[in-house]
Structure 1
Amino acid sequence: MTEINQLRDVFDAIADPTRRHLIHLLSEAEELPLHELTPQFQMGRTAVSKHLTILKEAGLVEDRKVGRETRYRLNASPLQEVQDWVGFYNKYWSTNMLRLKQLLEEEEE
């Protein structure tokens, strides 16, 4: 984990499609309250809130109180860990794509 305050692994947090969709929604807005996020899912407010808690534990979501409402915003910096991990394996994709290109060219000849 890259940040000391993280309680949950970033990879674990993004493994769920609901949480990935929450990240996407938050990436398109500066901040969103729970009541605006909930209608985007076929689940209740409590379930969406639990997913937000997991993202918050991974450092991917920050929240702040505005009156009685909690507003959520994305903190994308922990995703750098994912980018770094995927980037390391990029050389294998590049090599495989080059091999595929060579095979296709040989097949055409």
Structure 2
Amino acid sequence: MIEADLINAVMRALADPTRRAVFEQVIENQEITVVELTRGSGVTQGAISQHLKTLKQAGLVAERPEGRKVYYRAQPEGLEPLVNWMDHYGVFWRERFANLRTLLKEIDP
């Protein structure tokens, strides 16, 4: 995938509030199963599995099969394309706000 595709995949994956909650639960645990993620969530096991599939495709989680269970763990490096994109635009907007601040001071001394 090219960088833009990676950024889009991560943004799409994290845009859904339920999926974000699943991702946050995975982050909080070393490894976690679908059954553990489903417990107390109010979401079906099938829905959790679909959310995990999307997170995996975006590079945000990895799976480790062990017997009949599959364990999921966070892949922090999956957030790197998004972090790089935000860093780039953070610099862009900081410069623009600094220029605006200077301009406003010139207009209204």
What TM-score range do you get, normalising by the shorter chain?
0.7 to 0.9
Structure 2: gaps of 5 or more residues: 105-109
Offset, 1:95: 4.9
Partner of 2:21: 21
- Please list the CA deviations of residues 16-64 of structure 1 after superposition, one character each: whole Å capped at 9, or x if unmatched: 1112112211111110011110125221110011000111111111111
Task: Give the % identical residues.
Answer: 36
> How many residues are paired up?
103
Pick the structure with more helix per residue. Answer: 2
What amino acid does structure 1 have at the position aligned with 2:69? E
Amino acid at match of 1:37: L
Residue aligning to 1:41: 41
Match of 1:81 in 2: 81
**SS at 2:43 equivalent:** coil
- After superposing on structure 2, the runs of 4+ consecutive aligned residues of structure 1 that deviate more than 6 Å are none
**Structure 2 residue aligned with 1:58:** 58
Per the normalisation by structure 1, the TM-score is 0.75
* Separation (CA, whole Å) in 1 of partners of 2:80 and 2:22: 18
The AA in structure 1 aligned to 2:38 is T
Instruction: Specify the code of the residue in structure 1 equivalent to 2:15.
Output: A
Q: For the residues of structure 1 that align with 2:2 and 2:33, how far apart are their CA atoms?
A: 27
User: What's the counterpart of residue 68 of structure 2?
Assistant: 68
What's the CA shift string for 1:73-92, capped at 9, x where partnerless? 11111201010111111135
CA RMSD for the aligned pairs?
3.0
Structure 1: give runs of 5+ residues left out of the alignment. 104-109
